[in-house]
Amino acid sequence: MGNSKFITRAHGGGGTASAELIRDYFLPAYGNSILNQLGDQAIINFEGGRLAFTTDSYVVDPIFFPGGNIGGLAIFGTVNDIAMAGARPIALSVGFILHEGFPLGDLKKILDSMAEAAKRANVEIVTGDTKVVSGCSDQIYINTSGIGIVPEYANISPTNIRQGDKIILSGTIGDHGIAVLTERKELRFESRIESDTAPLYGLVKAMLDVEQGIRMMRDPTRGGVASTLNEVATAANLGIVIDEKMIPIREDVKSVCEILGLDPLQVANEGKLIAFVPAESADRVLEAMKVVPEGTNAAVIGEVTKEHPTIVEMKTSFIGSRIVEMMVGDQLPRIC
């Protein structure tokens, strides 16, 4: 990928190629003090308060999958990016790029699920746009942007993270990625794995209610928990050690990952968050999370260390510990 002169799929994969594209092209072109922070959302000071602002495009294939469709995803993905700043989402915009020949029936289903998702996330869609292009007739792309209000006390940034902080994961990993993949490739396994797509502001609110000093939150979407932890470790210039046996994962997701040879840590999630909290308040935050439906399976999965800055290490059940890396495009064989 290093010497490619063209865009490859890996550049949009959320792994190292994406990071390189941003570093080598976007930032040099129009980087500024806010963009350069490369947060999931931008925080803008506005008339004494702070706004969280974010945008995201959705190109999932297939557009309907177990547990949801592209519409719900486009709402939840964006409100969650806002919520990760501790902010309450208030308004969304929606832009559609539709392919000529796209069935109106399918569009209706998608719009219904967007409406339902917006209601569940307690947010309104206040502006929109539609374009139609020619191409494959079963495609639809959705862009959503959103704003939210950051509470005065919230101060969420990787630079706040300290040695000894505990890392909390809000639930099982890999559900969304595996649901989409098995649907796309018509893989049939014994149990049907559903996407975990869900809005997270309710959970975030419950957490902030018991600990205003939450250091950092991220939703581990593309690239999974592995990419998120690596990004945070790099941004904080600290080490992270997680414990494999503490990471919540459904048995069926685990066994499908094994069959597919995928590392569940690198598989996408859509309704999960990772929080870095001061060690002394970890129990309190965890307790508060467990009573919210989106956080019933939450667990402390590891902690922040001073040794080996920028490296994410995982203690495994019996082969010692291994380094957890960001995904590079597709997962590639390494074993000789």
Residues that bind another protein (CB under 8 A): 1-3, 16-17, 181, 184-189, 258-262, 308, 311, 313, 318-323, 325, 328-336
> Which CB sits closer to another protein, 25 or 189?
189
CA dist 220 and 229 (Å) reads 8
Residue recorded with tokens 């098995």: 182
CA angle 72, 144, 122 (to 5 degrees): 55
Residue 208, classed as helix, strand or coil, is: helix
| Residue 313 Cβ vs another protein, minimum distance, rounded to whole Å | 5
Whichever of 121 and 236 has its CB closer to another protein, that residue is 236
Q: Within 10 Å of residue 245's Cβ, how many Cβ atoms?
A: 8
The nearer residue to another protein, 5 or 188, going by C-beta atoms, is 188
Q: Which one, 75 or 241, has the nearer CB to another protein?
A: 241
* The one-letter amino acid at 16: T
Identify which of residues 104 and 335 has a Cβ nearer to another protein in the complex. 335
- Exposure class string for 276-310: b at 16+ Cβ within 10 A, else e: bbbeebbeebbebbeebebbebbbbbbbbbeeeee
Least distance to another protein, CB of residue 336, Å: 4
User: With respect to another protein, which residue has the nearer C-beta, 224 or 278?
Assistant: 224
Computed on alpha carbons and rounded to an integer, the radius of gyration of the chain in Å comes to: 19
Closest CB 60 distance from another protein, rounded Å: 16
Least separation in angstroms between CB 66 and another protein: 16
> Measured from the CB atom, is 83 or 247 closer to another protein?
247
State how far the Cα of 295 lies from the Cα of 219, in Å rounded to an integer: 13
CB 40 → another protein: shortest distance, Å?
Answer: 24
Whole-Å CA distances, 306 to 115, 212, 237: 46, 24, 9
Q: Provide the β-strand partners of residue 64.
A: 69
* CA separation for the pair 150, 148 (Å, rounded): 6
Nearest approach, Cβ of residue 297 and another protein (Å):
26
CB of 159 to another protein, least distance (A): 20
Q: Which of 151, 196, 150 is nearest to 177 (CA)?
A: 196
Cβ neighbourhood burial of 134 (10 Å; 0-12, 13-18, 19+): exposed
